[in-house]
Amino acid sequence: MTNAAVHMEERLHAPAHGAVATEAVHAKGQQHPIKLYLVVWGWLFVLSTFSYLVDYFGLHGYLRWSLILLFMMLKAGLIVAVFMHMAWERLALTYAILLPPVVVLVFVSIMVLESEYTHFLRVLFFATPS
Partner 1 sequence: MAETVLTNPGQSPAPLEGWRGIAADWASDQRAFKNVSWGKAMMWIFLLSDTFIFSCFLLSYMTARMSTTVPWPNPSEVFALNIAGNHMPLILIAIMTFVLISSSGTMAMAVNFGYRRDRVRTAILMLVTAAFGATFVGMQAFEWTKLIMEGVRPWGNPWGAPQFGASFFMITGFHGTHVTFGVIFLIAIARKVFRGDFDVERRGFFTSRRGNYEIVEITGLYWHFVDLVWVFIFAFFYLW
Asked whether position 16 contacts partner 1 by CB under 8 A, the answer is no
| Subset of 86-105 contacting partner 1 (CB under 8 A) | 89-93, 95-97, 100-101, 104
| Residue from the set 15, 20, 61, 62 that interacts with partner 1 by CB under 8 A | 20
| Subset of 29-48 contacting partner 1 (CB under 8 A) | 29-32, 34, 37-38, 40-41, 44-45, 48
| Subset of 49-68 contacting partner 1 (CB under 8 A) | 51-52, 54-56, 58, 64-65, 68
CA distance 109 to 32: 39
Handedness of CA 125, 116, 66, 54 (dihedral sign): positive
Measured CA to CA in angstroms, residue 50 lies from 54, 59, 69 at distances of: 6, 12, 12
